[in-house]
Each structure stands twice: as C-alpha cells, then as structure tokens.
C-alpha cells in the first residue's frame, strides 16, 4: 500500500525531474538517443556473465567510486561490472573508466523500468555509492534475490532529521538492504536510530581517503605551474557556486593590494556558469583575465578562469593554497571534498558550511591543515598569512597528506564485505 502511494507520487513529480535531467545547458553533454535507458530499455551487456551492478548517480559519485572499481578489478579481473549513472555528466565521467566497466543509464524508479533493466542485465549484486536509495529499485532487487550493499554510506544530522519526518519511506528502503558499510560511527548510529538492523551495519571508513594521485597528474601540475610562473603566489578557489564568486573575487582584490603578482585560479562547479563568472570578473575590474580553454597564461594575468572539465587535480597541483568552495552560502551545499587538496599536500581553506564532509574536515582542522574562513575578508587575511610563509605552507600540506595516509584502507575492507555475496 505504501509503495503504491509512493509510486503515484513519483508519477506526479517525474515531469519536473525529467525536465531537469534533459534540459540543455552549456557544457552539459546530451543524453541523446539513450534516453530510453531511463525507462528500462537497456542494451544487453557485451559480457553475458551476471555482473556487479554498481550505481553512482553523477560525477562526484563516479569519481569517488573510480578507485574502488579499479582496485576491485585489479584483484578480481574476471568480474563483470555494469556502472549506472542517472545524469549525462556522470555518464561522461564513467566513460573514462574504459573497458573496466560497461555504462548504462539508471532506470527511473518506476517498477516497469526497473523490472526491464533487471531482466536484461541479470545482476548478481547491487552496490550503491553513498545513499542514493530508491524504494522500488531496492524492493524489486530484493524480490529478485539480488543482495544490496550500500558502500561509503553517510547520513548527516540534517538528512537524518529529514528521514525521521518521512520514516514510512525510509522503512521501505531499510528492509531491503543486505549490507550497509558506513563511513563513521556517527553515521552508523543515525542509521540504527532509523531502524536499520545492527547486524547489517559495518564501519569501514571513507573510501575517499583511498584517493590515488597519478604521476601524470603531478607532471601536468608541474607543467602548468611552470607556465604560470614558479615564483608567483597562486591560490585556487575550487568548485564555486553562485553567491561565492563575488566573495572569492573580492578576497583576491584585497590580496593583490599586498601581493600584486598573486594569481587566482577560479573553478566554477557547473559548466553553465563559466561565462557568468567571466563577466563577473570583468565587472569587478581585474586588469587581466585568462581562460583555461582559450588563452595562454601570462605573468600579468590576475584571474585564471578554469572553464574546462576534469582538470581539478591538475589545477590544485599547480597551486600553493586551495580554498574549497560550496561552503560560503549557508546550508545550501555543505562543502566539497577537501581530500583532493590534502592528497596533493596543499594547505586548505574552507568556509563555515562543510556538513557534507564534517568528519573529514574536522580531522584536517585538528592537525591545523585546514582553516575556516568566515567571510571574504577572512579569506584574504588567511591567504596572505599562508602565501607569505612558505614553511607554514609546507607544514600544513605535510599534515594534510598525513591525515590521508593515516585513514587509508576503506576500499579493501569494503571489498572483503562484498565478497560475502559473490
């Protein structure tokens, strides 16, 4: 009865979801003729062996799952993996895994679509990254005796309170979960308060700590830094959102007053905002602005707009200090992954709203590898302190990398749990 009500609600709300999914935006790849996959019309796999069905909703989840999939395939090369994403940007990122996986679009949570998908793909296990949980998908997977494992599971206090208000929906989800591999004890406690059975839950840590920086990334970062100038102070504002760019640019204006050769690399989170951020920088009166996609980086450039995709690690590698955005606009976003700069030995700044990465950020704050900036003036002050003190930079970067090293191992622990069902 509850699932019937949920399904009716899904039918009513799906037009808005589909509009958002298929709406054309600059820099966003089109789903194209593959839209049918969202409704369960999915092509058969090249390898007929029952695969592990790995779901990662969009770009961030695909990036987080990439080292997991690589290690899994390295240890068990004959495993067949189908990777589903909901978004086209996630599909684009999944394509970079090449022959390690076959990509399909995730069927929408209509029973008929999920049934079609399962019939064609015949998965032996469903592995979901973090907490992308859909009632009909979980129920139908369970009906087909497909074990369901949630890896890297997290549940913030905010999400926990939301689920409490719709406990009836969470009950639909929880009864079908075979294994819940949580990042922290706090996550596990919240899931248990919502009714997940204790024997289902294990704490494996965050797989984000198992980040692997390739030699190629380091090489590309070194090459870019040579083009920028090795003697210049360089900072990056990573994954900025609307409402943050003005504050970032203002902080850089202040910094230029004391360090006139400083460079800001600004990386908008969404490609459709590239032009808007460029216009904002022009309006704020910077003397020289360069675009990563078009212009060479000269010594006179004050603002370098990163209007390309998939280069974040290279850009962070070429910088001295990283400000992680998504953290300056109240509770709208909740921060982004601070482990990328940490793994590159960079001192980190972030705004006061980082609830999506609370445990990770607080580990870095505890060893003084990360500092909280309350506003644009605070960003400028902390930047100046770091950029004028090379030993302090290096020490904070060293401590950040040590936090990453001390918390590795989640992937291997998670893989061992998965093989209970393979």
Phi, psi dihedral angles at 4 (to 5 degrees): -65, -45
Which are the catalytic amino acids? Answer: 61
Q: Which residues pair with 265 in a beta bridge?
A: 236, 304
Residue from 59, 404, 9, 5 nearest 207 by CA: 404
The token duo for 196 is: 């997940």
β-pair type (370-372, 148-153)? unpaired
Cα(139)–Cα(172) distance, rounded to whole angstroms? 8
> For the structural domain made of 215-406, what CATH number should be given?
3.40.50.2000
Matching CATH topology for 25-206+409-418 and 215-406? yes
**Per-residue H/E/C for 360-391:** HHHHHHHCCCEEECCCHHHHHHHHHHHHCCHH
Report the predicted TM-score, pTM, of the whole model to 2 decimal places: 0.80
Q: What does the domain layout of the chain look like in residue ranges?
A: 25-206+409-418, 215-406
CATH class belonging to 25-206+409-418: alpha beta
Element of type H or E holding 196: none
Name the 3-class secondary structure at 221: helix
Can you give the pLDDT of all 422 residues of the chain as single tens digits? 677 877 888 888 888 888 888 888 776 788 889 999 999 999 999 988 999 999 998 888 898 899 999 999 999 999 999 999 999 988 999 999 999 999 999 999 999 999 999 999 999 999 999 877 888 999 999 999 999 999 999 888 888 998 898 888 788 788 899 999 999 999 999 999 999 989 999 999 999 899 889 899 999 999 999 999 999 999 999 999 999 999 999 999 999 999 999 999 999 998 889 999 999 999 999 989 999 998 778 888 999 999 988 899 999 999 999 999 999 998 889 999 999 999 999 999 999 999 888 889 999 999 999 999 999 999 999 999 999 999 999 999 999 999 999 999 999 999 999 888 77
């Amino acid at each position: 009865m509850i699932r019937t009500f949920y399904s009716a609600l899904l039918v009513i709300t799906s037009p808005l979801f589909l509009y958002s999914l298929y709406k054309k935006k600059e820099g966003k790849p089109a789903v194209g003729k593959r839209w049918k996959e969202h409704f369960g019309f999915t092509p058969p796999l090249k390898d007929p062996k029952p695969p592990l069905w790995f779901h990662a909703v969009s770009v961030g989840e695909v990036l987080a799952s990439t080292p997991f999939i690589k290690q899994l395939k390295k240890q068990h090369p004959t495993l067949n993996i189908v990777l589903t994403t909901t978004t086209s940007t996630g599909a684009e990122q999944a394509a970079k895994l090449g022959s390690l996986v076959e990509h399909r679009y995730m069927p929408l949570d209509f029973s008929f679509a999920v049934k079609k998908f399962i019939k064609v793909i015949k998965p032996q296990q469903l592995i979901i990254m973090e907490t992308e949980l859909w009632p009909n998908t979980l129920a139908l997977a369970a009906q087909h005796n497909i074990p369901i494992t949630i890896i890297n599971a997290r549940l913030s206090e905010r999400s926990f309170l939301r689920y409490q208000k719709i406990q009836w929906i969470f009950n639909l989800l929880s009864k079908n979960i075979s294994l819940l591999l949580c990042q922290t004890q706090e996550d596990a406690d919240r899931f248990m308060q919502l009714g997940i059975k204790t024997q289902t839950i294990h704490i494996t840590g965050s797989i984000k700590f198992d980040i692997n920086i390739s030699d190629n990334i380091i090489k590309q970062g070194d090459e870019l830094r040579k083009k920028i100038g090795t003697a210049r102070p360089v900072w990056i504002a990573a994954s900025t959102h609307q409402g943050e760019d003005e504050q970032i640019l203002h902080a850089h204006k202040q910094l230029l007053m004391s360090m006139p050769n400083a460079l800001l690399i600004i990386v908008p989170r969404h490609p459709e905002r590239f032009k808007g951020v460029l216009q904002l920088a022009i309006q704020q009166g910077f003397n020289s602005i360069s675009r990563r996609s078009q212009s060479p980086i000269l010594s006179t450039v004050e603002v370098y707009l990163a209007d390309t995709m998939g280069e974040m690690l290279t850009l962070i590698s070429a910088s001295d200090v990283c400000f992680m955005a998504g953290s300056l606009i109240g509770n709208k976003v909740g921060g982004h992954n601070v482990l990328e700069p940490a793994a590159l030995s960079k001192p980190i700044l972030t705004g006061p709203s980082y609830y999506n990465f609370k445990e990770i950020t607080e580990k870095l704050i505890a060893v003084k590898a990360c500092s909280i900036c309350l506003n644009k003036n605070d960003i400028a002050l902390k930047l100046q302190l770091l950029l004028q003190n090379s030993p302090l930079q290096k020490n904070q970067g060293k401590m950040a990398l040590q936090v990453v090293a001390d918390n590795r191992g989640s992937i291997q622990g998670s893989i061992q749990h998965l093989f209970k069902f393979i």
